[in-house]
Amino acid sequence: MIEIKKDYPLKSRNTFGLDAYTRFYVEASKADKISFSLNYASYYNLPVMILGGGSNILFTKNYEGLIIRPTIQGIEIIEDAPETVTVRVGAGINWDSFVEWTVSRGFGGLENLSYIPGDVGASPIQNIGAYGVEAKDTIIKVEGLNIITKKKVELTNSECQFDYRFSIFKGELKHRVIVTHVHFKLSKKPSLITHYGNLDEEIEKLGERTIQTVRNAVIKIRKQKLPEPTEIGNAGSFFKNPLVKTSVFKALQNKYEKVPSYTASDTQVKIPAGWLIEQCGWKGKKVGSCGVHQNQALVLVNYGEAKGSEILNLAHQIQKSVHEQFGIELEMEVNVV
Ligand SMILES: Cc1cc2nc3c(=O)[nH]c(=O)nc-3n(C[C@H](O)[C@H](O)[C@H](O)COP(=O)(O)OP(=O)(O)OC[C@H]3O[C@@H](n4cnc5c(N)ncnc54)[C@H](O)[C@@H]3O)c2cc1C
């Protein structure tokens, strides 16, 4: 049984808490239900959008089509080798519940990605990352359905074209594939990655160096640093950290001695977008019902009744001032609908 709902409210379905509607909405717990929903959309000539936990989306208007939310469950061990384990996970599983599952069994690789909101199905889309780890480090395969042909597709890690907050699903396969399952290869003898930010320091305070302690430390830091979407609407980092040529960075450094940076490659440097935004005076600024978070300049927030278009407008103003002051283009990480 599959129920396609009409004029469905999305306020509780996006972490910005934006009041938008979709013309049609369906939750599909199996691949055949997704196929049925796709046929329904083709028959009525409706555009299709996939929604996970709504934690990386900005609705600026109502959606005049069919939103499909894959709710496919299941975590299945498909290969159990002496040093590794391969798991196949349903797209509808909550990401952090899955990370908790892996850590509690001693399977390492995802502990640094603890407490990221959203569903497993969205994890390959922007190649989620935090504390020096990205989803691409453990994803070995993505299964899905092609929205146009309705045929099953499988992509290996390299076919996914993963990059910083990017994959083929944001490139040539944008809006083309519904991810149904993701395969992760995890380690039974994990080596910990703790060099990022103050992670090492927090782990020291919490005791033994295990994947469980890494998870606990990550959760502790994230709770201190990031606003909870249940308390104040937001979608995490609104912009990507820009990559600039080393020569551009050097010129910037001559002007701003303290500009923070990470080496991205031999020729490129990554600059924290939050620092650029803060330098332009945006940190903590309130514009109508939205604003820039007081502790995290990279996070735009909805103080209650903001419209998506207001937040988008604020994002454009921020992009403009960063460009005027630094000559750097900030790219949005959040998906604007
Ligand atoms: C407080 C907070 C902190 C965050 N911290 C981080 C962080 O540290 N690192 C990070 O990388 N991100 C972070 N994010 C962003 C977000 O949590 C991730 O991008 C997450 O993967 C989005 O998952 P979702 O299920 O909510 O996707 P949604 O927001 O519902 O969708 C995001 C995009 O993926 C597509 N999509 C979703 N599911 C599927 C599917 N099954 N098949 C095909 N396409 C799909 C959607 O169409 C949309 O384009 C944060 C967000 C918040 C609110």
pLDDT at residue 323 tops 90: yes
Structural domains of the chain in order of their starting residue, each with its CATH number: 5-70 (3.30.43.10), 75-225 (3.30.465.10), 233-336 (3.90.78.10)
pLDDT for the residue numbered 255: 86
| Ligand 1 atom showing the smallest separation from residue 92 Cα | 41
Q: Is the dihedral of CA 129, 233, 27, 21 positive or negative?
A: negative
Question: Measured between alpha carbons, how far is 334 from 202 in angstroms, rounded to an integer?
Answer: 29
Alpha helices in 31-186 (DSSP H): 31-43, 95-104
Task: Please write the tens of the pLDDT for every residue from 50-62.
Answer: 999 999 999 999 9
Q: Are 119 and 71 in contact (CB under 8 A)?
A: no
Smallest CA separation from ligand 1 atom 24, residue: 118
Catalytic residue among 37, 167, 237, 310: 237
Task: Please write the tens of the pLDDT for every residue from 256-296.
Answer: 888 888 877 888 899 999 999 999 999 999 999 999 999 99
Smallest CA separation from ligand 1 atom 4, residue: 236
Q: Tell whether ligand 1 has an atom less than 6 A from the beta carbon of residue 126.
A: yes
pTM: 0.95
**Residue 31: half-sphere exposure toward Cβ, Cα within 13 Å:** 14
Active site residue 165: yes
Catalytic residue among 100, 165, 215, 310: 165
Short-list 313, 51, 20, CA closest to 179:
51
